[in-house]
């Protein structure tokens, strides 16, 4: 009987000791509070906002849907057309799709009548994909007031509005782009230097086949070592609008992207990467997010870059 009592007493002491060991560890690993609302809700506008500002001389609507014939077939009233592929890239750069130069952006925004005080609103018909790339371009050159019409032309029509084919008269300006914000863009060399940095996490925003190396769009297929694949389309709803803040927070934190880390987004030419950059930086408020502009177009065509597949 005494032996059983001593055994029970010993077990109680052991449990108490284990509890004392575990409790401090839990206290030093606080749970990150979930994001319930967008960090910067003003970067998105809806149909009513657009309707309220159709005659606002300080607002410039810009259609970046893709092809000029799509714009000609129907666009939002007062919107001008810009091609992100041919007008927002640098044709002289050896890597396809690299961001245009500071002087080139100055000329482009001058042509479409933008001043430093203009609120520029981008929209497309492809789940905000090209609009967020254009947004990133203007933020790189530090234009103050930039927004995305959430859902674009598809949302406009779904909300009962009509597209128009009217020509838009523009008075050119003399816009001068500011120096680039180097903190939101990165390079191959930077990526290579931080492959073993535990404070840097790479987000591959391409499709799973590209990530696995079975869909090869460069000299070599695969992905950057250590990268986590969250395809950009997972951030949008079926109607082309962004998912709510909590859904986005859960999507990225469960995948391994925490706000206390530096996040580098990439894809093939920095377009899908810019979409995810927008989600993490603007909608979720992550403090340090960089879009790798060269992306797989540069990384996968070099012979000296390590690859996983």
| Contact (CB, 8 A) for 125 and 215 | no
Residue showing tokens 């395809």: 231
Helix (H) or strand (E) holding 266: strand 262-266
When mean pLDDT is compared across 32-41, 48-57, 106-115, the lowest value belongs to: 32-41
List, in sequence order, the alpha helices (H) in the chain: 2-27, 47-52, 68-73, 102-111, 129-140, 152-158, 188-193, 208-212, 245-255, 271-278, 295-299
The reported pLDDT for the residue numbered 15 is 40
The reported pLDDT for the residue numbered 30 is 52
The reported pLDDT for the residue numbered 24 is 31
When mean pLDDT is compared across 13-27, 101-115, 230-244, the lowest value belongs to: 13-27
Mean pLDDT, the chain, rounded, equals 91
Angle (CA) 51 55 58, round 5°:
110
The reported pLDDT for the residue numbered 206 is 98
Percent of the chain at pLDDT > 70 equals 90
- Produce one character per residue of 116-152: b if its CB has 16 or more CB atoms within 10 Å, e if not: eebbbbbbbbbbbbbbbbbbbbbbbbebebbbbbbbb
The reported pLDDT for the residue numbered 116 is 98
**Domains of the chain by start residue, with CATH:** 41-180 (3.40.250.10), 183-299 (3.40.250.10)
Percent of the chain at pLDDT > 90 equals 88
- pLDDT, tens digit, 9 for 90 and up, residues 275-308: 999 999 999 999 999 999 999 999 999 999 999 9
Q: Is the pLDDT of residue 182 over 50?
A: yes
Catalytic residues, which ones? 267
Q: Is the pLDDT of residue 11 over 50?
A: no
Structural tokens at position 72 = 């000609």
Residue 22: pLDDT band (50, 70, 90) is very low
Angle (CA) 229 231 232, round 5°:
135
Instruction: Please report, for residues 77, 87, 128, 156, 166, the alpha-carbon distance to residue 163 in angstroms, rounded to integers and kept in the order given.
Output: 7, 23, 18, 8, 9
Instruction: Please report, for residues 152, 160, 291, the alpha-carbon distance to residue 267 in angstroms, rounded to integers and kept in the order given.
Output: 22, 34, 9
The reported pLDDT for the residue numbered 220 is 98
- pLDDT, tens digit, 9 for 90 and up, residues 160-181: 999 999 999 999 999 999 999 9
- pLDDT, tens digit, 9 for 90 and up, residues 191-219: 999 999 999 999 999 999 999 999 999 99
For the question of whether the overall pTM of this predicted structure is more than 0.85, the answer is: yes
Quote the DSSP letter at residue 162: -
Q: Is the pLDDT of residue 126 over 80?
A: yes
- pLDDT, tens digit, 9 for 90 and up, residues 98-120: 999 999 999 999 999 999 999 99
Q: How many Cα atoms within 13 Å fall on the side-chain side of residue 120?
A: 29
Q: What is the mean pLDDT of residues 114-137?
A: 98
């Amino acid at each position: 009987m005494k032996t059983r009592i001593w055994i029970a007493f010993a077990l109680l002491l052991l449990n108490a000791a284990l509890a004392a060991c575990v409790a401090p560890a839990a206290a030093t690993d606080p749970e990150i509070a979930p994001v319930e609302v967008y960090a910067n809700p003003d970067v998105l506008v809806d149909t009513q906002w657009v309707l309220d500002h159709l005659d606002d001389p300080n607002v410039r609507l810009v259609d970046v849907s893709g092809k000029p014939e799509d714009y000609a077939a129907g666009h939002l009233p007062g919107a001008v057309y810009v091609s992100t592929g041919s007008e927002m890239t640098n044709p002289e750069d050896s890597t396809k799709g690299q961001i245009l130069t500071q002087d080139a952006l100055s000329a482009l925004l001058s042509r479409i009548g933008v001043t430093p005080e203009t609120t520029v609103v981008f929209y497309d018909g492809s789940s905000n994909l090209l609009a967020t790339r254009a947004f990133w371009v203007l933020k790189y050159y530090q234009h103050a007031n930039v927004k995305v019409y959430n859902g674009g032309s598809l949302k406009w029509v779904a909300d009962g509005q009509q597209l128009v084919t009217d020509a838009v008269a523009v008075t050119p300006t003399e816009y001068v782009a500011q120096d680039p914000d180097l903190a939101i863009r990165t390079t191959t060399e930077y990526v290579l230097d931080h492959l073993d940095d535990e404070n840097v996490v790479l987000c591959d925003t391409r499709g799973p086949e590209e990530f696995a190396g079975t869909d090869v769009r460069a000299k070599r297929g695969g992905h950057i070592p250590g990268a986590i694949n969250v395809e950009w389309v997972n951030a949008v709803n079926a109607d082309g609008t962004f998912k709510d803040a909590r859904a986005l927070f859960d999507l990225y934190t469960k995948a391994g992207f925490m706000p206390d880390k530096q996040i580098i987004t990439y894809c093939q030419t920095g377009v899908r990467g810019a979409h995810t950059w927008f989600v993490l930086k603007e909608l979720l408020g992550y403090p340090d997010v960089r879009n790798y502009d060269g992306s797989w177009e540069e990384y996968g065509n070099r012979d000296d870059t390590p690859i996983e597949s």
